[in-house]
Amino acid sequence: MTMKAHSSTADETRQSTFVGTRWRKQARAPAGERYGAFGFVVLLHIGLLWALLQLAPVQEALLSAAPIMVHFIAPPPPETPPTPPAPPKPKPVAPAPVRKAPPLPLLTTPVDKPAAPVQAAPPPKAPELPPVEAPPPPKPAPPAITQPSFGAAYLNNPPPAYPFSARRRREEGTVQLKVFVNAAGMPEKIELHRSSGSPGLDQAAQDAVRRWRFVPARQGDTPVAAWVIVPIKFTLEG
């Protein structure tokens, strides 16, 4: 295998020398021809190398001769952030000199005399009103009026006569008469206040009361005229 490799190498050397000699001979050829020849040579070398690599002995020689190197790549150390620079120390500032203000001139102001107190004007007098007369005392209430009366025995007032027609029909009842009695005790007006239901009995009662005498009504000690209700009852016996 080594001899074959050396022979192959020698052949390649002779071919390269032949190509180089031919290239020198054609060095003065035109530029297009030179570039074409150069490309042809490159392609020829590539073809020869490819043919050599296809040979099994050459591949085995290359694999046995090339040592395998394994290197472990260590990871890079972590980057530490740069420490920030310390801030510069402030320079001490010298205090500014304090200037004293010039003294202010004293101003004297004349003191005014206190003003005399102003007396307030007296309030106006209220107008005098004429004296108000007291109202007269209320008059006393008049005395109550007593009604006229007709039942005294000394009046001698006769009872009414029972009408014959009413007796025969057996009529009974009570008649109420409204009588206006004057201050002298005489009946001036007689009105039928409530009927007995019998015209004969009503008329007999009015005729009898017209002849009666009354005790007049009084207001205090004074006799006065007034109205009075006089009831008269008609009743049959047996």
Q: Are 181 and 148 within 8 A, CB to CB?
A: yes
pLDDT range class, residue 26, cuts 50, 70, 90 = very low
pLDDT in tens, 185-230: 999 999 999 999 999 999 999 999 999 999 999 998 899 999 999 9
Q: Using pLDDT thresholds of 50, 70 and 90, give the confidence band for residue 76.
A: low
DSSP code string of 93-137: PPPPPPPPPPPPPP---PPPPPPPPPPPPPPPPPPPPPPPPPPPP
Question: How far apart are alpha carbons 97 and 219 in whole angstroms?
Answer: 123
CA distance 214 to 155: 7
Number of Cβ atoms within 10 Å of the Cβ of 43: 10
Q: At what angle do helices 31-54 and 2-25 cross, to 10 degrees?
A: 180
Looking at residue 139, its amino acid is K
The Cα 219–Cα 229 span in angstroms is: 18
Task: For residues 65-71, give the mean pLDDT.
Answer: 53
Question: Does residue 31 have a pLDDT over 70?
Answer: no
How far apart, in Å, are the Cα atoms of 198 and each of 141, 194, 208? 45, 11, 16
- Could you tell me which residue, 153 or 72, shows the higher pLDDT? 153
Q: Who has greater pLDDT, 183 or 50?
A: 183
* Whether residue 28 has pLDDT greater than 60: no
pLDDT for 6 equals 43
Nearest to 33 by CA among 46, 43, 23: 23
Higher pLDDT, 157 or 104: 157
Please, what is the average pLDDT of the chain?
75
Give the per-residue pLDDT at 186.
Answer: 93
